[in-house]
Amino acid sequence: MTIMKIFFANEKGFIKMLDAILKRGESDTAGVEEAVKAILKDVRRSGDKSLFKYTERFDGVRVKSKELMVEKREIKKALQKIPKHDLKILELAAKRIKAFHKRQLAKSWAFAEKDGTVLGQMVTAIERIGVYVPGGKAVYPSTVLMNVIPAKIAGVKDVIIATPPFPFRNITGQAKNGINPYVLAAAYIAGADKVYRVGGAQAIAALAYGTETIPKVDKIVG
């Protein structure tokens, strides 16, 4: 049986009790913010070396420079690791996302006035973007599709993904130190150019500043 406690606005200490209720579930993020700042600074200064350190600390995975980028054959292999029914769903979702965003595509235009003045609008795509795909206990192939596809339609030349690796093999078929096959399958379907096995604040720092292996991007989405 659930007991509901009732508070009256005219009773003594009501404001204090209300404040405690409103703050319930909140946490002090000051420590987190400082920790993230330290990671960003470290990655900017030490590059890949810092990525290896934080990936082992937070994800329990040891990687080397040549392992940061997921090979294309590993990405294609992921298509065989998920049920055909699920693959068809990803393909259908991709098709619908493409159809929607093609209608949003802005175009360049110009016109000349009688005095010879040329006016108009020049639309150009960003050169490179980074898509951050969260990992952990959940899988987010939708994040891949809904960020990579619009970028490709807009004409972005280089779309790269950063997503954390996993330290064990699980029932979805992802290999040790690998990426979830649903994420890789979505990356292949969406047309992502590169996938890097790195997550957390260190991944955002790598995308923002660039490292020896991961190129600096012009924009980060996720």
Structural domain includes residue 77: yes
The answer to the question of residue 64 being in a domain is yes
Asked whether residue 107 is assigned to any structural domain, the reply reads yes
Is residue 31, in this structure, part of any structural domain at all?
A: no
Strands in 158-163's sheet, in edge-to-edge order, are: 194-197, 158-163, 128-132, 219-221
Q: Which residues of 142-154 are buried (b: 16+ CB within 10 A; e: fewer)?
A: ebbbbbbbbbbbb
> H helices of the chain, where?
14-22, 30-46, 48-59, 65-68, 72-78, 84-102, 141-154, 181-190, 200-209
Print pLDDT tens along the chain (222 aa): 567 777 777 888 878 887 877 877 666 666 788 999 999 999 999 999 999 999 999 988 888 888 899 999 999 999 999 999 999 999 999 999 999 999 999 999 999 999 999 999 999 999 999 999 998 777 899 999 999 999 999 999 999 999 999 865 444 444 455 789 999 999 999 999 999 999 999 999 999 999 999 999 999 998
Domain assignment present for residue 66? The answer is yes
Q: Is 178 within the bounds of a domain?
A: yes
What's the CATH code of the domain at 147?
3.40.50.1980
Query: Does residue 71 lie in a domain region?
Result: yes
Domain region containing 108? 47-221
Number of structural domains (the chain) is 1
In a domain, residue 75? The reply is yes
